[in-house]
Structure formats: C-alpha cells, structure tokens
C-alpha cells in the first residue's frame, strides 16, 4: 500500500459497533471480493469488499472475518482468516500478509489460515441459531453478476438449511453511514491531497491543453502524495462536455473562452474525497459565466445551510428545488409561466439541474446510508448542485464534502478555493 498505516483503532471500534447489533446465539461471516478477469490470463486490479475493509483494514484477496461472540473459547470470538503465504505465488505476485502483519493492521488477535477454516467453522455453526451473511445492498448497485457473497450464501444455506439466516447489510448501512472522528481524519487526508492537486491544476490549465493532460496531472499529484489513486474515474469536461454528468472520454482540447468542469477526488486508506470545481480555461470568467457560476455557488451555500440533523434527503432536495426555481428565474433560465405551469413530478428547474444534490461519502464514493430517513450527526455528505444550459453550452457544478454535527455541519473542504475572485487570482499568478 502507498498510504501510511492507519490506526487499527478505527477497525476495532467498527467491529465493536457491529457486534453490538447482533442477536444472541449468532455467528456472522464476511468474505473478500473476487479477483476478476479481464482478458487472456490477466486480472483486474483487486478491490477489497468495502464492508470487510471497514471491519478489518485488510486489503488482501481470499480473506474472511468471523464473529462468534458467544464462542465457548474466548479467543475464537473474533477471527480473521487469511491465505497461507506460498513461496511460489509470492515470486509471481508479491508478498502476502503474515499473521503478525494482519494483527497489526486489523487489531485482531486470532488469525487462522484459509485452508483450516472450514474444519473450525463447522462446529461453531452447530452451536448457533442465527447465521449473518453479507450482500451488497447499496441502493445504486447495478452489477448483476453473482459475486462471492451471493455464491457463499447459497453454499451455506445448502449445507446448513435449518439455521435462521440474517442480513448483515442493514446493520452495515446504519453503521457505515455514521463516521467516527478517526474515519473523518482519514477522509480529511484524502481531501487535503485533493486540495493540493486542485491548486496545482490552477497553475497548469490554459487554452490548448488537452483534458487527458489535466487528468494525468491529477494522477501524478495523487500518487506523489501517497494516495492509493483516484476514488473514482475523474471527470475532466471542458466546454459543452460539462453537461454530460459522467463524461469520461477526457480527450478534448480545452479552448479559450470555455469553462472546464473537473470532478475528481483522491482515495487514501480506502476512504474517498469527492470534489468538483468549474474554472475558466483562460483564467477569467466572462460576465455570463460568472453569473451562472455564482448562481450555482448560491445554491451550494443554501444547501449547506439546511443540511443538518433531522432533515431527510427528500425534503432537503425539495427545498433546494424551491430555491433553484427562484434563482433560475433571476438569471433568465425560467419564466414565471414555466413555474406556474410546471409538472409537480417533473419540476421546471429540472431542465437545468437534473441530478441529486448530495450522497453519502466514505469507504465508497457513493457510500452506504439511507436516502429516506432523517439525517443524523456523524454522516458525511457531498453537496454538489449544478447548472447545465444546453442553449449556451455551459455546465457548472460545485461540490464540497460535509461532516454532519449535532448543530449543523462542518465543511471538510473549506480551505479549497471556490469563490470567483479566488480562482481568478490563483490562475492569474502564473500568466
């Protein structure tokens, strides 16, 4: 790993929180992700199961975690399972964790090897009534491939059909949504790396540069600051490309007079940052660009003023829609008649702001958490309103990351330049 070792107390605390939610006479089992093929004999870069990582800090493939809080033998109430190091495999693929290393990363004392796990697990299963298994229940999940968690659930149900099976996912959705101070500290490191990178870009962007060259600068900056890499595929969208929400081609020349929308974030210790900034390619906003940008910034600040414990994302989004309706009339995008005759299920402002305003952020860039229940202290959200005008070939989005507190929220990206004057000044210095 490129990042410095994280405090294992992060994972110790996460495990305590999870175990406290289990019913009596239960065992809970977590699996690592599959290693997935690309073509030929090649594999995609391995990405650990987010829930397993959140509980252990272990990134290695073929890893399992077993909780049995009422195990008669106390040393086996929390067990980490890793693959046994193999000299030949290590010659090809590199070092694999030793027991002492896994203990140091995770804070788990009892480590066993995968090749003896099955024989040890069976008698434990016979002592419990409930088996908690894990599946991906992220609301935005799109992958329909039967991955390891689902295959394992079928195997367990076939082997032990008379046990009661429980879902770990609802517990993880509740717990992972509430970040500890230690988790936020890691996220702040990812954010600070992203901040440094954005400032670097302001000294690099100019007419004639290619979007992919900007992307290369991002990758270079991330890696030199010990980031794992990108938290998600960077969006570098100049001109009219900015209206494409998940634009990934990043292959257009940045032209004088255009805006460029950059949506990127570092990953550090498997925790994500998620920043969006829109800047003028030539370092100077036109009058109209400034008007649209400041309208978006107004919506961003308004959203930050109401994102606090007690409000639901549904109500929050509706309030921002009300404010956008007012602002869009002021900047000439909507007429009073547009608003008067709007479809309540497809409001007029949606022509120019056609995505959600916030999502949970954490180990995953679209992290686990409810979208219907009231927001709670400890959650981390993005705030990312946008304005997209097809007729003017303009797309603007502004995004920061906020930690919800008992009294409101804390802007984790407060140091990253966002005002028109800040951006123009930082771009002007290198001219």
Cα distances from 282 to residues 22, 237, 247, 293, 372, in angstroms, run 57, 15, 21, 16, 42
Residues 342 and 377 both lie in one domain: yes
In this prediction, residue 431 carries a pLDDT of 43
Q: For residue 42, how far is the Cα from the chain centroid?
A: 27
177, 211, 244 — which closes off a domain?
177
Provide, rounded to the nearest whole percent, the portion of the chain with pLDDT above 90.
Answer: 91
Residues 204 and 56 both lie in one domain: no
Is residue 372 very low, low, confident or very high in pLDDT (cuts 50, 70, 90)?
A: confident
177, 203, 233 — which closes off a domain?
177
SS (H, E, C) the chain: CCCCCCCCHHHHHHHHHHHCCCCCCEEEEEECCCCCECCCCCECCCCCCHHHHHHHCCCCCCCEEEECCCCCCHHHCEEEEECCCCHHHHHHHCCCCCHHHHHHHHCCCEEEEHHHHHHHHHHHHCCCCEEEECCCCCCCCCCCCCCHHHHHHHHHHHHCCCCEEEECHHHHHHHHHCCCHHHHHHHHHHHHHHHHHHHHHHCCCCCCCEHHHHHHHHHHHHHHCCCCEECCCCEEEEHHHHHCCCCCCCCCECCCCCEEEEEECEEECCEECCEEEEEECCCCCCHHHHHHHHHHHHHHHHHHHHCCCCCCHHHHHHHHHHHHHHHHHHCCCCCHHHHHCCECCECHHHHCCCCCCCCECCCCCCCCCCCCCCCCCCCEEEECCEEEEHHHCEEEECEEEEEEECCEEEECCCCCCCCHHHHHHHHHCCC
Residues 298 and 248 both lie in one domain: yes
- Inside any domain, residue 117: yes
- Inside any domain, residue 116: yes
- Taking only the tens place, the pLDDT of each residue in 194-239 is 999 999 999 999 999 999 999 999 999 999 999 999 999 999 999 9
> Is residue 301 a contact partner of residue 324, using CB atoms and an 8 Å limit?
no
- Taking only the tens place, the pLDDT of each residue in 48-100 is 999 999 999 999 999 999 999 999 999 999 999 999 999 988 998 899 999 99
Long-range pairs for 44-52: beta carbons < 8 A, 24 or more residues apart: 48/270, 49/134, 49/149, 50/270, 50/363, 50/364, 50/368, 51/134, 51/168, 51/169, 51/172, 51/176
Residues 250 and 274 both lie in one domain: yes
> Is residue 55 a contact partner of residue 8, using CB atoms and an 8 Å limit?
no
Q: What is the CA radius of gyration of the chain?
A: 24
Residues 171 and 197 both lie in one domain: no
The CA-based angle 236-379-166, given to 5 degrees, is 105
Taking the C-alpha atoms of residue 103 and residue 30, their distance in angstroms, rounded to an integer, is: 17
- Rounded mean pLDDT of the chain? 96
- Inside any domain, residue 2: no
- The domain that contains 307 carries what CATH number? 3.90.230.10
In this prediction, residue 429 carries a pLDDT of 57
- Inside any domain, residue 269: yes
- Inside any domain, residue 4: no
177, 207, 237 — which closes off a domain?
177
Residues 196 and 324 both lie in one domain: yes
Residues 163 and 271 both lie in one domain: no
Residues 393 and 292 both lie in one domain: yes
Residues 142 and 241 both lie in one domain: no
Q: Is a pLDDT exceeding 80 seen at residue 144?
A: no
- The domain that contains 74 carries what CATH number? 3.40.350.10
Mean pLDDT to the nearest integer, 183-197: 98
Name which residue leads in pLDDT, 372 or 170: 170
Q: Is a pLDDT exceeding 90 seen at residue 185?
A: yes
- Taking only the tens place, the pLDDT of each residue in 295-331 is 999 999 999 999 999 999 999 999 999 999 999 999 9
Mean pLDDT to the nearest integer, 142-164: 93
Could you tell me if residue 100 is left (phi over 0), alpha (psi between -120 and 50 degrees) or otherwise beta? alpha
Domain membership of residue 113 as a residue range: 9-177
In this prediction, residue 219 carries a pLDDT of 98
Taking the C-alpha atoms of residue 157 and residue 152, their distance in angstroms, rounded to an integer, is: 9
Mean pLDDT to the nearest integer, 109-136: 97
Helices 211-224 and 181-202 pack at an angle, to 10 degrees, of: 130
Mean pLDDT to the nearest integer, 179-184: 97
Residues 173 and 185 both lie in one domain: no
- Inside any domain, residue 3: no
Q: Is a pLDDT exceeding 90 seen at residue 338?
A: yes
Total of domains in the chain: 2
Residue carrying the six token digits 């007429």: 335
- Inside any domain, residue 166: yes
Is residue 370 very low, low, confident or very high in pLDDT (cuts 50, 70, 90)?
A: confident
Mean pLDDT to the nearest integer, 348-356: 97
> Is residue 259 a contact partner of residue 397, using CB atoms and an 8 Å limit?
no
Residues 383 and 266 both lie in one domain: yes
- Taking only the tens place, the pLDDT of each residue in 235-293 is 999 999 999 999 989 999 999 999 999 999 999 999 999 999 999 999 999 999 999 99
How many residues comprise the chain? 431
pTM: 0.95
Residues 273 and 407 both lie in one domain: yes
Q: Is a pLDDT exceeding 70 seen at residue 34?
A: yes
Provide, rounded to the nearest whole percent, the portion of the chain with pLDDT above 70.
Answer: 99
- Inside any domain, residue 386: yes
């Amino acid at each position: 790993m490129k990042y410095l070792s994280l405090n294992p107390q992060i994972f110790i605390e996460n495990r305590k929180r999870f175990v406290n939610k289990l019913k009596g006479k239960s065992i809970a089992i977590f699996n690592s992700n599959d290693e997935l093929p690309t073509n030929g004999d090649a594999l995609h870069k391995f990405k650990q199961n987010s829930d397993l990582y959140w509980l252990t800090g272990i990134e290695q493939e073929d890893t399992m975690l077993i909780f049995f809080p009422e195990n008669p033998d106390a040393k086996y109430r929390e067990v980490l399972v890793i693959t046994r190091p193999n000299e030949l495999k290590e010659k090809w693929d590199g070092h694999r964790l030793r027991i002492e290393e896994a203990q140091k990363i995770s804070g788990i004392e009892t480590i066993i090897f995968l090749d003896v796990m099955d024989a040890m697990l069976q008698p434990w299963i016979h002592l419990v009534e409930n088996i908690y298994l894990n599946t991906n229940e992220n609301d935005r999940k799109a992958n329909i491939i039967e991955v390891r968690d689902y295959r394992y659930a079928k195997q367990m149900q076939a082997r032990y059909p008379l046990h009661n099976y429980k879902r770990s996912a609802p517990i993880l959705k509740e717990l992972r949504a509430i970040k500890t101070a230690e988790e936020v500290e890691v996220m702040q490191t990812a954010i600070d790396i992203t901040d440094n990178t954005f400032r670097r870009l302001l000294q690099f962007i100019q007419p004639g540069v290619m979007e992919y060259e900007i992307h290369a600068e991002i990758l270079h900056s991330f890696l030199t600051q010990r980031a794992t890499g990108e938290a998600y595929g960077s969006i570098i969208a100049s001109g009219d490309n900015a209206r494409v929400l998940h634009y990934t081609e990043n292959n257009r020349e940045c032209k004088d007079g255009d805006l460029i929308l950059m949506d990127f974030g570092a990953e550090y210790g498997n925790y994500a940052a998620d920043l969006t900034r829109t800047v003028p390619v030539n370092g100077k906003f036109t009058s109209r660009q400034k008007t649209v940008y400041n309208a978006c910034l107004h919506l961003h600040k308004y959203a930050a003023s109401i994102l606090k414990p007690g409000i639901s994302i549904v109500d929050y989004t509706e309030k921002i829609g009300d404010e956008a309706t007012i602002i869009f009339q002021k900047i000439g995008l909507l007429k009073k008649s547009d608003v008067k005759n709007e479809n309540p299920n497809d409001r007029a402002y949606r022509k120019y702001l056609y995505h959600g305003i916030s999502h949970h952020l954490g180990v995953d860039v679209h992290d686990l958490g409810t979208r219907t229940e009231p927001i709670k202290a400890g959650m981390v959200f993005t705030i990312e309103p946008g304005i997209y005008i097809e007729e003017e070939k303009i797309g603007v989005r502004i995004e920061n990351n906020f930690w919800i507190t008992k009294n409101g929220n804390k802007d984790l990206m407060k140091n990253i330049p966002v005002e028109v004057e800040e951006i123009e000044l930082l771009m002007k210095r290198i001219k």
